[in-house]
Structure 1
């Protein structure tokens, strides 16, 4: 029997791995043939076919014409019912390459995981990405946002021929990320070679400039005089990893920082930690903070559109100004020294994180899919 085809598009396979498996499964379970395209390898039991396209993330790469032709050929030859695209440059190319298919009935949805233009972004970002995104809404059936700022802007400025939606993030599994008891926490710490007496702080993020690990090292340098037994866990990899290690050494805090590398069981490290941090310069949402909150951690993060969607200041976490290591250090110290405040934030973090559960995200997203299928 002929099955209608669905195409997922993202620049890199890690995006599929991190966010899209539940949505691919939803389509497969509902009788659709699921295809995916990215620059790399990816396996999932719900994918019928994986296509390769040489996507580049830079907006100024000369290879975009090649990836446009590769993708256009795939789209033109497969008669997709719906294309759902993600990541900025891959989504630009998808909407251009799918323009003719869309005239023939294919629906194209774009999920914006955080526009590059936002309050506080550089003039260069606004001049580069904003006009392009406005133009491309004419080639898009629906734009899906994950924070209020993005939705409020694009729904007003974008083409009236497109529809606009906001969903509670792309979803986090509460079956994987959950609080554990005090005794379980002690046992897990022992298993992972951490002390029961350590005050553990965690930041899960790629080592790139936007994630701003340097700010956290500046802050914990100041903590040495106020908190004796603390550890900072950095989970992730990236181009600035070695520079960050060197900076920690220069600041004299190497003995306080543990570089975990890329790990597939991040939930265990949230569960042994006391608080989670973000120093990011900008986020579409801040999925790492949602994961930590589901495990019962109060979070301390920079003031940013994505973080403000997740964190209610001094209710389930603490927001601090961008580039302010003093305020970050003060927030950590307050959570360390005020147990009642800590417990209140922990309880509220669990409540707020439930809104971003994959069940809620998938339920809302499936309603949008059904409009266009």
Structure 2
């Protein structure tokens, strides 16, 4: 009988965005692959799916319904592995799998960025820290994706049987890659940009955390020294209208391009000059990894995820205290120096290799197969011959 794995998250888009290669890896190894999340998106590499009403907010009553449904699913299917993701997916799945663990199911949780961390509000520590520490008792393997979270889990002695660090969710360096100057000029023509434009790119949902307002404020300070600067903002969300209004208020609406939801980021990124990131908190941001793989310098606000990827003055700039003036000053440096942009870009292409899909796949496959094969070398050999 084939071994069975269940991936669980709050919403099914999470699997499409981050985990398709790993679903496929299990399928290639002959496993039966199931997913459980809210939504009915069509996804490849799976044998079964369960649409359960997990809510993002822990205070929604429907989470109790989701718990009951998920517990029944786990108990009936007798999974060998349950791998859960996202805060509420991780909470509900680990609670629902407690009985299955006593019968041999291994429960893995990937923390995509603890809400309690250095600089986080006290409320986050009061609410989220005790929950995660308690749930670590019901976790066979806790996977962290940045060094700060790994050190925190070890220092605070989380009770997971194993605590591992992997390099994010992996970036596809075959899909995200640099283009030469001729290709860049031709691509800009296709998208309606001039070769003289200084294109600054940020892809993220418009929400409070992603903080696009900071970038618009910085752009307004560039009008004199970098008149050809254009800010490209890809994504949708509840804060988009407020950002449009801010651009009008600061008289830069002609230089801020709201691109909406895009499926062509691999084509857009390489034709830009610099990647930006303004969020308040991040685990290990994929948007920066994609920009690094395309050979772009990065200017990012200071937080644990950004600071792990961007070393100030080495492969980009890290901006402290959400300072729009400092943000603008660093962008002027890059605007005026082709040499500096190329230097940072080359360094990013080198650095991103440790976060590649292939490298992360080796790390994850080693974790998965140790439970059943006990041999990390064999795990890596099996992974290298599979999807990637």
TM score, norm. by length of structure 1 = 0.98
Following superposition, the deviation at residue 160 of structure 1 comes to 4.0
Cα distance in 1, alignment partners of residues 17 and 277 from structure 2: 19
Moved more, 56-65 or 100-109: 56-65
Distance 1:42 1:49 in 2: 12
1:289 aligns with 2:288: yes
CA contact (8 A) 1:293 1:346 kept: yes
Q: Indicate the SS of the match to 2:19.
A: helix
CA distance in 2, matches of 1:89, 1:155: 22
Report the counterpart of residue 58 of structure 1 in structure 2.
Answer: 57
Q: CA deviation at 1:322?
A: 3.0
CA offset digits 1:32-86 (Å, max 9, x no partner): 0000011002323310011011001112222221111011011011000001000
SS in 2 for 1:203: strand
Question: Within 5 Å, which residues of 2 pair with 1:175-214?
Answer: 175-214=174-213
Distance across 2 between alignment mates of 1:161 and 1:171:
24
Mapped contact 2:20–2:44 kept (Cα < 8 A): no
Instruction: After superposition, give the CA deviation of every residue in 1:173-223 in whole Å (9 maximum; x if it has no partner).
Output: 011000001000000000111111100000111100000011111110000
For 2:208 and 2:75, the matched residues in 1 are separated by 38
Residue 140 in 1 paired to residue 139 in 2?
yes
- The reply to whether residue 152 of structure 1 matches residue 120 of structure 2 is no
| Structure 1 residues without counterparts, runs of 5 or longer | none
SS at match of 1:210: coil
Q: Does 1:103 align with 2:117?
A: no
3-state SS, counterpart of residue 47 of structure 1: coil
Q: Any conservation in 2 of the 1:281–1:322 contact (CA below 8 Å)? A: no
- Could you tell me whether the CA contact under 8 Å between 1:82 and 1:372 is conserved in 2? no
Provide the C-alpha distance between the structure 2 equivalents of 1:163 and 1:291, rounded to a whole number of angstroms.
29
Larger CA deviation: 335-344 vs 2-11: 335-344
Distance in structure 1 (CA, Å) of the matches to 2:88 and 2:160 = 22
The DSSP-based 3-state class of the residue aligned with 2:50 is strand
SS at match of 2:60: coil
TM-superposed deviation, 1:161:
4.9
Tell me: CA distance 1:272–1:160, structure 2 relative to 1, closer, same or farther (3 Å). same
Cα deviation, residue 341, structure 1: 1.8
Tell me the alpha carbon deviations over residues 276-324 of structure 1, each in whole angstroms, 9 at most, x when there is no partner. 0011000001110110111110000011110111112111111011321
Q: Which moved more, 1:38-47 or 1:253-262?
A: 38-47
**Matched residue SS, 2:44:** coil
Aligned to 1:328: 327
Q: 2:244 matched to which residue of 1?
A: 245
Q: Render the CA deviation track for 1:317-352: whole Å, top value 9, x for unaligned.
A: 110113210110011001111222222111101111
| Counterparts of residues 208-223 of structure 1 (less than 5 Å) | 208-223=207-222
Asked whether the equivalents of residues 142 and 160 of structure 2 are also in contact (C-alpha less than 8 Å), the reply is: no
CA distance in structure 1 between the partners assigned to 2:28 and 2:3 by the alignment: 13
**Structure 2 runs not aligned, ≥5 long:** 373-388
Instruction: State the number of aligned residues.
Output: 372
Instruction: Measure the CA separation in 2 of the matches of 1:161 and 1:53.
Output: 26
Do the aligned residues in 2 keep the contact of 1:318 with 1:331 (CA within 8 Å)? yes
Other-structure match for 2:383: none
Shift of 1:250: 1.2
Task: Give the structure 2 partner of residue 279 of structure 1.
Answer: 278
Partner residue in 2 for 1:365: 364
CA distance in 1, matches of 2:160, 2:207: 37
Q: Which residue of 2 aligns with 1:67?
A: 66
State whether structure 2 residue 43 is matched by structure 1 residue 35. no
Q: Distance in 2 between matches of 1:322 and 1:236?
A: 24
- Output the CA distance in 2 between the equivalents of 1:14 and 1:272: 27
Contact 1:227 1:333 (8 Å CA) reproduced = yes
Aligned position for 2:120: 121
| CA-CA distance at 1:158 after TM superposition | 3.5
Between stretches 121-130 and 154-163, larger displacement belongs to 154-163
Please give the root-mean-square deviation of Cα atoms over the aligned residues, in Å.
0.9
Question: Whole-Å Cα distance in 2 between the matches of residues 134 and 325 of structure 1?
Answer: 36
Aligned match of 1:89: 88
